[in-house]
């Protein structure tokens, strides 16, 4: 997997959203650690959950011409590649430097997460130069508008992935269940009021990463 | 009675709920096609969503206006006629129209439907407004953003038509509905296709540390690293005249006329409008709440407290635009 | 209906003498049928031409031209509204309405509708015809696909349709003066800097490409529209009037070129070549007609 560039997500999360941002970033780290064989089915489930929960956005996304959008969080070691179009939404983790896409959206992870959840106005981010766009601008605008029309809670979406795991094969299910546990369990952890809990969470996740890597071999 | 009616934009059902919940008196929306002037990819309302939007607003005692403010295409008026018919059918509180032919259609076909004149009609004087009032029964006019407060006061008094003015958001320095700058560069026209500086023709190019924004085949701005940006519209671009580069038409800036509330009230303005159907629901929620607070405060104290909305504005700054004469 | 060449109003702030000389020469030499006069961009310039206006009307009429007085594009102040009312008192000329305010004042009286009133569809055209419009000049951004059905509808309504075929295309109007702004001045203290540029102030992109032209409160294309190669097509559609917009180059020669193409005595490509030569680096464009960016040049062969 790609080499990390920097990992200062925590320091740059906006006030009040530190925990959510950190937890989502950590979930992505777990997803990275388990490797594509286990990760991709879970990401597919996540896309499936999104489509079920947000039919309006899903329809908008599938009405776009087939295209890819690279979400480049400058403070995370990897990017997220979104495929949109008639074949539906697909999510993949990717190495930014070696990925080509029809459009790229670049910014800090916290800002991108806020954008995905409609907590912040994309134009305002752009005016402040906290967001850069390259490639097919219309694609980015269409995607942004589709997402902004929804009430999206990234952690809740991840939590909902746990449900459909039953349809995976037994081996994959065991591994995927661990990823889902990591993803979904985090939602509960958020309820803990103490910001200091993030440190403990991070340790827990680090242990899980090691375990999963071992499991993969 | 409150001094002003607060009119707020919504590009999606989620934004509509955000606007209503944040205290909009009325929300304006468009159908998802070329019949309105914010025909952006992924934006606007299907007929079902429009009907639900009307119901959502009405349940909370608010109004919904449908903007059908582009100019119907030659030999294809059907989408515009259908939009007017559906707005009437769904119980929209008003339609916002610009085209003379479409106003004629709406006035004949739906005599009880309340007609507002869109800013895109650019009715800039009392003679023009009187025509729309007398011929089509237009009840309210959204004034072009080229008038001073003094012009507005005279026009309102002379015509007796309700006037609605923009108070916040994107600022056209040109007379609206009479601008072909975007179509000169892109072939897509605000009047015809309902989109200014269409995203499909916008490209951001990184040139070392400098970001170039391009519209069609033309470079309309270059930004140094970290320099605040604006919309990639031609009129907010930087150009060269007499060997000097400048924001020739308008700086990347947003209108914020909250400081002029006393003057606008004295001018007889009925409704204040926030621009931005293309903006995210976070913008809608923040600006509508700020304006609700400012208007409620103004009604209590007669003073206008300026809300902090710099983060939402183009180029991170505000202007009172043409309302003050020095802008010219 | 006969095909007519019309001359649009002078858009730029020419000196009173230049303005007068221009119309005198048009009266004597230009093969145009209709001549528009009037200051339509900036009311502050009005006094400059006012002294020569009555004489110009007289002289053009005597020379057999049909004279049309054009109303301003943007009317906001009381003084500007009064100026429009003053135009209506001029006898024996057609008034061209360029905003809906003028349209209101002209109700029931035969008049022309100028290119600054938005006429995009048959519904609007029919409504205008019912109010006494004898001719309509279509907005410059309309493509052939829209001109065709409008010209067909106009024929049944008995309205003449006019299309601009030469000159920089008006693209926008504002209350703000960009000519003054480019010099760091306000409109109220503009020192009439627009008078320094008889064809407008050149606006380039930051990449040094020619782009637009500023004429006081008006913004125009940098390129000169030429539809010399489309005259036959326009005529077939039912367009009967072709508008030339005045510039400081030899407009008598321009009118002769277009007249020759209409008469079939000069190939359109040859006319375009000569126009391009006179215009120089600003270049020619015909993109709007083809539904492309207005700045594009395709040419008749395409």
pLDDT (0 to 100) of residue A14: 43
CA atoms within 13 A on the CB side of C92: 8
Q: Does residue A3 belong to any structural domain of this protein?
A: no
Contact between chains at A145 and B311 (C-beta distance less than 8 A) = no
Same structural domain, B62 and B134: yes
Contact between chains at B314 and A118 (C-beta distance less than 8 A) = no
Interface test with C, best of B143, B173, B178 (most C CBs within 10 A): B178
Helical residues (DSSP H) of C77-205, grouped into ranges: 78-88, 100-105, 122-130, 144-157, 178-182
CATH number at residue B12: 3.20.20.70
C190 known ligand binder = yes
B235 known ligand binder = yes
pLDDT (0 to 100) of residue B310: 65
Chain B window 210-249: which residues touch C at a Cβ cutoff of 8 Å? Answer: 216-222, 235, 238-242, 244-246, 248-249
pLDDT (0 to 100) of residue A42: 83
Q: Does A142 touch chain B (CB under 8 A)?
A: yes
pLDDT (0 to 100) of residue A73: 93
Q: Do residues B125 and B155 touch, judged by C-beta distance below 8 A?
A: yes
Same structural domain, B286 and B301: yes
Chain A residues within 8 A of B223 when measuring between CB atoms: 129
pLDDT (0 to 100) of residue B145: 86
Contact between chains at B77 and C296 (C-beta distance less than 8 A) = no
Q: Does B51 touch chain C (CB under 8 A)?
A: no
Residue of B nearest to A141 (CA): B41
Secondary structure (DSSP) of B272-310:
EEE--TTS-HHHHHHHHHHHHHHHHHHHHHS-------G
Looking at per-residue confidence, does B207 or B318 come out higher? B207
Q: Does A119 touch chain B (CB under 8 A)?
A: yes
- Residues in chain C predicted with pLDDT less than 50, given as ranges, are 302
Interface test with A, best of B41, B252, B308, B318 (most A CBs within 10 A): B41
Strand C241-244 to strand C284-285: parallel, antiparallel, or no bridges (unpaired)? unpaired
Same structural domain, B165 and B272: yes
* Mean predicted lDDT score pLDDT of chain A: 75
pLDDT (0 to 100) of residue A193: 40
Contact between chains at B227 and A120 (C-beta distance less than 8 A) = no
Same structural domain, B119 and B56: yes
pLDDT (0 to 100) of residue A8: 39
User: What distance in Å separates the CA atoms of residue C291 and residue C288, rounded to the nearest whole number?
Assistant: 5
Q: Does residue B176 belong to any structural domain of this protein?
A: no
pLDDT > 70? residue B6: yes
- What residue spans define the domains of chain C? 4-168+222-290
Structure confidence by residue, pLDDT tens digits, B263-300: 999 999 999 999 999 999 999 999 999 999 999 999 99
Same structural domain, B273 and B197: no
Contact between chains at B14 and A151 (C-beta distance less than 8 A) = yes
Structurally, at CATH architecture level, domain C4-168+222-290 sits in: Alpha-Beta Barrel (3.20)
Q: Does B151 touch chain C (CB under 8 A)?
A: yes
pLDDT (0 to 100) of residue B191: 97
pLDDT (0 to 100) of residue A217: 42
Averaged over A89-115, what is the pLDDT? 93
Grade residue B218 by pLDDT with cuts at 50, 70 and 90: very high
Most confident of A34-48, A87-101, B294-308: A87-101
Burial class (CB in 10 A: 0-12, 13-18, 19+), C205: buried
Same structural domain, B117 and B91: yes
Same structural domain, B140 and B198: no
Same structural domain, B104 and B81: yes
Interface test with B, best of A111, A132, A141 (most B CBs within 10 A): A141
pLDDT (0 to 100) of residue A117: 87
Contact between chains at C293 and B327 (C-beta distance less than 8 A) = no
Torsion of CA A176, A180, A181, A186, to 10 degrees: 150
C282 known ligand binder = no
Structure confidence by residue, pLDDT tens digits, C265-289: 999 999 999 999 999 999 999 999 9
Structure confidence by residue, pLDDT tens digits, B69-117: 999 999 999 999 999 999 999 999 999 999 999 999 999 999 999 999 9
Residue B202 lies in domain: 181-246
Name the domain count of chain B. 2
Q: Do residues C169 and C200 touch, judged by C-beta distance below 8 A?
A: no
Grade residue B228 by pLDDT with cuts at 50, 70 and 90: confident
Same structural domain, B156 and B236: no
Structure tokens given for C89: 């008192």
pLDDT (0 to 100) of residue A210: 62
Same structural domain, B16 and B95: yes
Q: What are phi and psi of B147, to 5 degrees?
A: -100, 145
Q: What is the CA radius of gyration of chain C?
A: 18
Grade residue A211 by pLDDT with cuts at 50, 70 and 90: low
User: What distance in Å separates the CA atoms of residue C259 and residue C270, rounded to the nearest whole number?
Assistant: 13
Q: What are phi and psi of B115, to 5 degrees?
A: -110, 130
Residue of C nearest to B188 (CA): C293
User: Computed from CA positions of residues C40, C41, C47, C49, in that sequence, does the dihedral angle turn out positive or negative?
Assistant: negative
Looking at per-residue confidence, does B229 or C146 come out higher? C146
pLDDT (0 to 100) of residue A177: 55
Same structural domain, B208 and B96: no
Number of residues written out for chain C: 302
Averaged over B125-137, what is the pLDDT? 98
Residue A21 lies in domain: 9-175+183-207
pLDDT > 60? residue A184: no
Of C76, C102, C181, the CB nearest to B248: C181
Q: Do residues C290 and B183 touch, judged by C-beta distance below 8 A?
A: no
Distances (CA, A) of B60 to B4, B53, B92: 18, 11, 14
Q: Does residue A1 belong to any structural domain of this protein?
A: no
Of B12, B211, B314, the CB nearest to A148: B12
Structure tokens given for B104: 């004629």
Contact between chains at A118 and B282 (C-beta distance less than 8 A) = yes
CATH number at residue A95: 3.30.1050.10
Q: Do residues C272 and C284 touch, judged by C-beta distance below 8 A?
A: yes
pLDDT (0 to 100) of residue A3: 38
Averaged over A71-86, what is the pLDDT? 93
pLDDT (0 to 100) of residue A155: 72
Grade residue B47 by pLDDT with cuts at 50, 70 and 90: very high
Q: Do residues A107 and A162 touch, judged by C-beta distance below 8 A?
A: no
pLDDT (0 to 100) of residue C301: 59
* ipTM for the whole complex: 0.96
With CA atoms as reference, report the closest residue to C129 among B61, A95, B118, B104: B104
pLDDT (0 to 100) of residue C196: 96
Structure confidence by residue, pLDDT tens digits, C95-111: 999 999 999 999 989 99
Grade residue A6 by pLDDT with cuts at 50, 70 and 90: very low
pLDDT (0 to 100) of residue C197: 97
Q: Does A133 touch chain B (CB under 8 A)?
A: yes
pLDDT > 90? residue A7: no
B196 known ligand binder = yes
């Amino acid at each position: 997997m790609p080499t990390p560039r920097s990992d200062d997500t925590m320091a740059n999360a906006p006030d009040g959203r530190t925990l959510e941002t950190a937890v989502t970033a950590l979930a992505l780290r777990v997803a990275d650690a388990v490797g594509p064989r286990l990760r991709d089915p879970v990401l597919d489930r996540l896309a499936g959950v999104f489509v079920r929960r947000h039919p309006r956005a899903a329809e908008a996304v599938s009405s776009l011409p087939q295209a890819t959008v690279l979400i480049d969080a400058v403070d995370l070691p990897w990017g997220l590649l979104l495929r949109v179009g008639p074949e539906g939404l697909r999510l993949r983790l990717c190495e930014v430097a070696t990925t080509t896409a029809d459009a790229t959206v670049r910014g800090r992870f916290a800002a991108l997460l806020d954008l995905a959840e409609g907590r912040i106005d994309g134009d305002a981010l752009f005016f402040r130069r906290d967001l850069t766009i390259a490639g097919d601008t219309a694609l980015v605008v269409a995607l942004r508008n589709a997402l902004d029309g929804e009430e999206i809670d990234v952690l809740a979406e991840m939590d909902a992935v746990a449900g459909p795991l039953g349809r995976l094969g037994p081996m994959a299910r065991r591994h995927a269940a661990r990823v889902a546990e990591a993803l979904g369990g985090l939602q509960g952890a958020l309820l803990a009021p103490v910001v200091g809990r993030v440190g403990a969470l991070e340790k827990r996740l680090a242990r899980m990463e090691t375990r999963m890597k071992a499991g993969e071999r | 009675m409150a001094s002003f009616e607060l009119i707020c934009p919504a590009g999606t059902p989620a934004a509509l709920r955000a606007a209503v919940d944040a205290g909009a008196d009325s929300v304006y929306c468009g159908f998802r096609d070329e019949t309105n002037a914010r025909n952006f990819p992924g934006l606007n309302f299907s007929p079902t969503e429009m009907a639900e939007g009307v119901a959502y607003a009405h349940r909370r005692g608010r109004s919904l206006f449908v903007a059908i403010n582009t100019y119907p295409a030659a030999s294809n008026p059907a989408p515009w006629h259908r939009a007017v018919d559906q707005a009437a059918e769904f119980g929209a509180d008003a339609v916002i129209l610009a085209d003379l032919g479409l106003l004629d259609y709406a006035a004949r076909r739906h005599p009880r439907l309340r007609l507002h004149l869109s800013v895109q009609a650019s009715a800039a004087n009392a003679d023009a407004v009187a025509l729309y009032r007398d011929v089509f029964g237009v009840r309210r006019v959204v004034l072009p953003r080229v008038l001073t407060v003094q012009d507005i006061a005279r026009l309102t008094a002379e015509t007796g038509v309700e006037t609605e003015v923009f108070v916040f958001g994107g600022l056209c320095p040109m007379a609206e509905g009479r601008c072909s700058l975007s179509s000169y560069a892109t072939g897509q026209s605000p009047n015809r296709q309902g989109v200014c500086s269409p995203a499909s023709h916008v490209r951001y190019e990184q040139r070392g540390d400098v970001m170039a924004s391009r519209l069609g085949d033309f470079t309309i701005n270059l930004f140094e690293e970290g320099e605040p940006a604006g919309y990639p519209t031609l009129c907010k671009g930087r150009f060269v005249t007499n060997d000097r580069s400048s924001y020739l038409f308008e700086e990347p800036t947003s209108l914020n006329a909250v400081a002029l509330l006393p003057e606008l009230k004295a001018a007889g303005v009925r409704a204040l409008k926030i621009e931005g159907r293309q903006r995210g629901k976070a913008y809608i929620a923040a600006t509508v709440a700020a304006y609700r607070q400012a208007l409620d405060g103004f009604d209590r104290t007669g003073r206008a407290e300026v809300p902090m909305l710099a983060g939402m504005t183009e180029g991170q700054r505000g202007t009172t635009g043409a309302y003050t004469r020095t802008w010219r | 209906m006969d095909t007519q060449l019309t001359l649009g109003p002078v858009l730029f702030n020419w000196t009173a003498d230049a303005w007068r000389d221009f119309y005198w020469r048009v009266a004597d030499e230009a093969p145009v049928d209709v001549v528009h006069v009037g200051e339509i961009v900036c009311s502050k310039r009005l006094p400059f031409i006012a002294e020569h206006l009555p004489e110009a009307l007289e002289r053009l009429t005597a020379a057999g031209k049909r004279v049309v007085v054009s109303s301003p594009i943007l009317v906001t102040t009381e003084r500007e509204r009064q100026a429009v009312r003053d135009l209506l008192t001029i006898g024996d000329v057609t008034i061209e309405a360029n905003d809906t305010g003028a349209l209101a004042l002209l109700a029931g009286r035969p008049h022309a509708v100028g290119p600054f009133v938005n006429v995009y569809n048959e519904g609007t055209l029919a409504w205008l015809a019912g109010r006494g419009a004898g001719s309509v000049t279509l907005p410059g951004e309309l493509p052939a696909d829209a001109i065709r059905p409008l010209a067909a509808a106009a024929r049944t309504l008995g309205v003449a349709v006019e299309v601009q075929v030469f000159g920089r295309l008006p693209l926008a109007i504002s209350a703000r003066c960009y000519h003054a702004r480019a010099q760091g001045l306000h409109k109220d203290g503009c020192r009439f800097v627009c008078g320094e540029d008889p064809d407008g102030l050149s606006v380039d992109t930051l990449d040094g490409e020619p782009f637009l032209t500023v004429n006081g409160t008006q913004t125009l294309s940098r390129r000169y529209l030429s539809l010399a190669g489309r005259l036959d097509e326009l005529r077939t559609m039912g367009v009967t009037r072709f508008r030339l917009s005045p510039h400081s180059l030899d407009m008598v020669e321009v009118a002769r070129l277009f007249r020759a193409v209409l008469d079939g005595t000069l190939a359109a490509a040859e006319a375009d070549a000569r126009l391009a030569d006179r215009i120089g680096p600003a270049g020619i464009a015909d993109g709007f007609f083809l539904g492309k960016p207005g700045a594009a040049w395709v040419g008749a062969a395409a």
